[in-house]
């Protein structure tokens, strides 16, 4: 049998009907009555528990991992509405999947990383290939998480991490993580993939600096208070259109921060790693990002560039094809930033951009993904957290 996969999606508004339709289509397209594992991504217009219950019922309670997103991505549809669900069903004699979860991550992401590593290590084998991580995009801080996770990595060696942060419909109120039959928030759901298989991936952000190098002069963890001795918000105002600060969601999608990429990664990736400013504090003049910074760190004000985004996806496809060569991928997963969807591109423009990526890798390959509040993907042999970025991986 090797590995077979199928993807189904639904835009029905009734959660039970939508979950059942997507799940049964996924099984049908995989050509199996029961799968070994499911990846599930959905938008937040649904009653999430009813949605997952219907998927579980239709798939004989197959283990699953996934989360909510701002939108879903498949070969058939790119949906950024309140009602969209995709299910990828995988059955394989070569690959094995085990999943785990940890809750209450907002209290301490370092402890969450430590706990998740312990749980996964009990499931890990010497042939583990990759770990997929789906975390709450409103409470996750990558740096303490990955530092703790990698102290005692599953399998006793470096393990590539892929995934994305759960999103909602821009309300920034509540995201959802899925683990088997459970739906929760402020949590991480993850899946460990082991066995005989290869993973090829590409990572690209498509942003460019719009100002000169700046220095962080006061910060704590992932909160930046001062830049070049000036409140961070005051520095940002020089780059804002008049009145745009009142709508922070819109402002933070038009402007982002660039951190200097580690020297060993720049040739294979970019000079900058992008950071979304998830919130601001007017009283303190601070902004909060999704990873830690230190005093003295260099940062740049960055903007997205449509041409660079399009070119970057082409480069991503080229990188994957170069690694897979003539071997057809069994399935593809795509984790793309919400800041690269409808907020930037017209609907048809956005769809054609993703279709071009799919044509280059393979139009008939099972493909599932979602629009995230942050992306996780390795650069060379380092697990990196990204924003305004697409992480695309092919498993063969």
Residues 258 and 325 in one domain: no
Tell whether the model's pLDDT for residue 205 goes beyond 80: yes
Q: What percent of the chain has pLDDT over 70?
A: 97
Domain termination residue (choose one: 274, 304, 334): 304
Burial of 63 (0-12, 13-18, 19+ CB in 10 A): middle
The string of DSSP codes covering 202-232 is EEE--EEE-S--EEEEEEETTEEEEETTEEH
- Domain range spanning residue 19? 3-204+308-395
Same domain, 194 and 290: no
Residues 177 and 39 occupy one common structural domain: yes
Q: In the chain, which residue ranges form alpha helices assigned H by DSSP?
A: 15-30, 48-58, 109-121, 142-149, 232-237, 248-254, 263-266, 306-324, 347-361
- Sign of the C-alpha dihedral computed for residues 68, 353, 200 and 292 taken in this order: negative
Give the model confidence (pLDDT) of 98-143 as tens digits: 999 999 999 999 999 999 999 998 888 889 999 999 999 999 999 9
Short-list 229, 176, 152, 187, CA closest to 45: 176
pLDDT at 302 over 80: yes
pLDDT digits (tens, 9 = 90+) for 247-301: 676 677 778 999 998 887 777 788 999 998 988 899 999 999 988 999 999 999 9
Across the chain, mean pLDDT equals 93
Q: Of 282, 304, 326, which one is at a domain's C-terminal end?
A: 304
Compute the distance between CA of residue 233 and CA of residue 380 in angstroms, rounded to an integer: 34
Q: At what angle do helices 109-121 and 142-149 cross, to 10 degrees?
A: 30
Q: Which of 304, 337, 372 is the last residue of a domain?
A: 304
Q: Does residue 173 share a domain with residue 214? A: no
Return the pLDDT at 126.
87
For position 239, what pLDDT does the model report?
A: 84
Q: How far is CA 116 from the centre of its chain?
A: 18
Residue in 185, 137, 178 with CA at minimum distance from that of residue 23 = 178
52 and 115 assigned to the same domain: yes
| 200 and 106 within one domain | yes
Same domain, 331 and 232: no
Same domain, 155 and 54: yes
In a shared domain, residues 357 and 231: no
14/160 same-domain check: yes
Q: Are residues 167 and 284 in the same domain?
A: no
Q: Are residues 232 and 101 in the same domain?
A: no
- pLDDT reported for residue 242: 60
- How many separate domains does the chain show? 2
């Amino acid at each position: 049998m090797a590995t077979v996969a199928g993807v189904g999606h639904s835009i029905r508004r009734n959660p039970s009907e939508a979950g059942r339709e997507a799940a049964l289509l996924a099984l049908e397209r995989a050509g199996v009555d029961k799968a070994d594992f499911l990846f599930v991504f959905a938008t937040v217009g649904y009653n999430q528990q009813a949605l997952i219950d219907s998927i579980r019922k239709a798939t004989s309670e197959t283990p699953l991992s996934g989360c909510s997103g701002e939108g879903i991505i498949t070969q058939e549809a790119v949906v950024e509405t309140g009602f969209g669900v995709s299910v990828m069903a995988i059955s394989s004699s070569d690959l094995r999947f085990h999943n785990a979860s940890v809750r209450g991550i907002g209290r301490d992401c370092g402890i969450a990383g430590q706990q998740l590593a312990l749980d996964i290590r009990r499931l890990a084998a010497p042939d583990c290939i990759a770990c997929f991580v789906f975390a709450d995009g409103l409470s996750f801080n990558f740096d303490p998480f990955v530092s703790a996770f990698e102290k005692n990595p599953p399998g006793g060696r470096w393990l590539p991490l892929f995934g994305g942060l759960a999103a909602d419909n821009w309300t920034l109120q509540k995201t959802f993580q899925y683990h088997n039959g459970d739906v929760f928030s402020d949590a991480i759901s993850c899946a460990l993939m082991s066995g005989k298989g290869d993973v090829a991936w590409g990572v690209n952000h498509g942003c460019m600096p719009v100002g000169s190098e700046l220095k962080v002069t006061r910060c704590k963890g992932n909160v930046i208070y001062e830049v070049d001795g000036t409140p961070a918000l005051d520095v940002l105002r020089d780059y804002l259109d008049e009145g745009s600060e009142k709508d922070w969601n819109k402002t933070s999608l038009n402007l982002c921060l660039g951190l200097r990429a580690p020297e060993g990664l720049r040739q294979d990736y970019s000079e900058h790693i992008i950071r979304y400013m998830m919130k601001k504090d007017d009283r303190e003049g601070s902004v909060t990002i999704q990873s830690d910074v230190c005093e003295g760190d260099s940062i740049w004000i960055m903007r997205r560039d449509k041409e660079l985004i399009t070119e970057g996806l082409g480069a991503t496809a080229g990188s994957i094809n170069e690694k897979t060569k003539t071997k057809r991928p069994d399935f593809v997963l795509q984790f793309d930033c919400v800041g690269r969807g409808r907020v930037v591109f017209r609907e048809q423009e956005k769809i054609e951009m993703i279709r071009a990526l799919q044509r280059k890798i393979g139009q008939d390959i099972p493909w599932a993904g979602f629009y995230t509040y942050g992306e996780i993907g390795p650069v060379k042999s380092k697990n990196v957290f990204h924003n305004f970025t697409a992480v695309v991986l092919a498993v063969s």
